[in-house]
A and B are shown apart, each in its own frame.
Chain A
């Protein structure tokens, strides 16, 4: 496969990683992502308490949650559970949904976009009209509806997000595929007798890889935000499974007295989304020479 990519004109330029690591913001993004992934993977070993254990000493005598500091690094929630442990396990939810939902959306979007752009004819027309139709849907409303209809679980939420989010990818990939299909080297291949399958796999798809990497990275940020929003509204990942969004959902009635229960998970969501945005943006600059100088 690596060989095939190389023959197809090396769509992914060399030294991408090196150039990426020279950018401070991308480096910061990488660091945050590593930190969150590390926290999620190592949660059972790092977390001081079980995420859904209601600790006796986790509430004050009046039954109020404990502020951050002292025994509990980030304080405790309304039920006396350790917030730091919940944040660590919540990172798993965000990452799983971010990667799975975005991966599925990327696959659907690529299939639709490439098919519409490469096959054209009425198949292409039908697919693109359907994409237009999906664009007219109020996305969040649709997601809330779907999530509320199918009693949400982690995987259902991921699928709902994928069903809502593939549209943008499809449009971008469609545009790119049509412009690639009209390029001279594709016409040359065709004259040399290459079949459509060969052209598709050897020439079109490899050239889409940079776009997919960029959109895949930026898309995780969108997905993380959407999951948090759904969970905040109570139609996302359901308690007791911790998610950064549903931690805020569970505790927001008390947020004036215990603001850390809203702002620590809130900051976590923001940092993760920001990290993927920064890395995605840097990737776009590095991978796509036409965009350079504009950022």
Chain B
């Protein structure tokens, strides 16, 4: 089993520009430190119709209320404001571009959290995994952890609806091929959505997923503390 940079086709070049946008790094850094409710705020705003910040503050009284319900501290309110501003900046970019930004942000957030556990040098983006005698997948894995004996491959989705047969097969195929080479490969699907929604989506899938760790909004922080388990 070995890792390789993905081919730089036209789509990859355009997407690399999105990934390199400072807004992506800023949003990911804020979300890496965020609470669960703050991550839901980001999801709602980046999915939303409204671009009026006051309306979003009203929708999240526990994040923006001064010592009210939930009693947000000054630091928490400041982080919520920063997340709101970054999320609105994404939402204001138009439907197609915002979709690309959302995907890039989830990938950057995943890489950031994984790097806290394994170190940034072991975390790579947009990598293919090659196995002897197996034709390489066209689509690269979003985030990989490349360490001898403890490799990981993660795909990232903005919403539970992104869970589909293709991504489940690709992840499980990689795990299976690794096992055929006596290598262990942890596979995960990071979804910036509620685990309840992920379960509903998974229940409708016949593709293999019993060995895939599903990391939803509620458990994102676990990426930084331990190897994800199915």
A, B from the same assembly: no
Chain B positions near chain A (C-beta within 8 angstroms): none
Chain A positions near chain B (C-beta within 8 angstroms): none
